[in-house]
Amino acid sequence: MASAAPGPAEQARAVLVASGKGGVGKSNLSLNLAIAARRLERRVLLLDADVGLGNAEILAGVSAPLHLGDVLAGRCTLEQAVVGGPGGVDLLAGGHGLGELPPVDGLRWRHVLGQLAGRRWDLVVIDGGAGVGGPVRPQLLAARELLVVTTPEPTALADAYAVIKLVAAGGQGLPPRLWVVVNQVQRAAEGQAAFARLASVCRRFLGVEPHLLGLVPHDPRVREAVQRQVPLLLAAPHSPAARAVEAMARHLLGCPPPAAGGLLAYLARLWPGRGAPPGREAAGGPVAG
């Protein structure tokens, strides 16, 4: 029997943005990468998955009174929680002051997936939590396309390696595609050398090959944009950092998505066994938590 054609959410490419430590610019990069993809005529959702510490709406300068936890708890619909963000990007906030996402039974999860299946996004940028423990671990293991943000500092590179080590050792099935962004570089040679060191140890000890998505130069306009709560691509679109992010978006979208890299497949791996939306089968497997 022929399988049903993939729906909009299955086709939506899901890219998880991660970092081994806070303070490397992960959330800011997620926001501006989403805006850059929207400028390339993609329909984009920025999903803030840093539960309880989400700050995407703060960086974006928008009000998001409802969040992902409200949707999962049944307090609102997905339509009510998603707000219009800057640059034409949709935003689903992560919420503040939450210890973790509420428990979700199979019926509720099936309903949430059904809502997602009707949305027509081309790309979902998932701003994950920092580190490798707690609720971040299953996010990392569920990803099929992972963008690790680091800086040239040795501690940041060591923490980025810890993220890649987790997904290399703990994933099931196809290995994820691994992108690396080196942020806050003083010179291009510094960023290239930092990536080369990280890639070398990944090849030697993990047997995986990360790909350099790009280097973001240190740029005082980034800090100014954060203070103004205006995304860099809107506050200073011609700045060196903004141009670097736009180049990364073109590079990312110029590569075909990995197998099983759609939004619903990611969520099914994140919460396996919760059921699929009506008429669909969840393409999930076990996720270590």
pLDDT the model gives residue 68: 80
| pLDDT (0 to 100) of residue 153 | 96
Q: What is the pLDDT of residue 274?
A: 55
Number of Cβ atoms within 10 Å of the Cβ of 119: 18
Q: What is the arithmetic mean of pLDDT over 2-26? A: 75
Biggest CA–CA distance in the chain, Å, is 58
- If one compares 65 and 272, the residue with the highest pLDDT of the two is 65
DSSP letters spanning 55-110: -HHHHHT----SBHHHHHHTSS-HHHH-EE-GGG-EEEB--BS-SSPPP--HHHHH
Is 22:155 a contact under the CB 8 Å cutoff? no
Alpha-carbon span 105 to 133, nearest angstrom: 23
As given in the structure block, the two tokens for residue 96 are 């503040």
202 band by pLDDT with thresholds 50, 70 and 90:
very high
Q: Is 16 helix (H, G, I), strand (E, B) or coil?
A: strand
pLDDT tens-digit profile of 97-118?
555 555 666 677 777 777 877 7
53 phi and psi, to 5 degrees? -125, 20
CA distances from 174 to 78, 135, 168, 170 (A): 30, 22, 10, 11
d(CA 46, CA 49): 9
pLDDT band for position 238 (cuts 50, 70, 90): very high
Pull the structure tokens for residue 13: 């490419």
Residue 279 tokens read as 């008429």
Report whether 56 contacts 31 (CB < 8 A): yes
Model confidence band, residue 283 (pLDDT cutoffs 50, 70, 90):
very low
Structure tokens given for 69: 């936890």
The CATH architecture one would assign to domain 8-270 is 3-Layer(aba) Sandwich (3.40)
- pLDDT at res. 289: 27
pLDDT in tens, 175-195: 899 999 999 999 999 999 999
Q: Averaged over 91-100, what is the pLDDT?
A: 71
In angstroms, the first-to-last Cα distance of the chain is: 35
Mean pLDDT of the 124-134 span: 89
pLDDT classification of 43: cutoffs 50, 70, 90: very high
**Domain ranges within the chain, ordered by starting residue:** 8-270
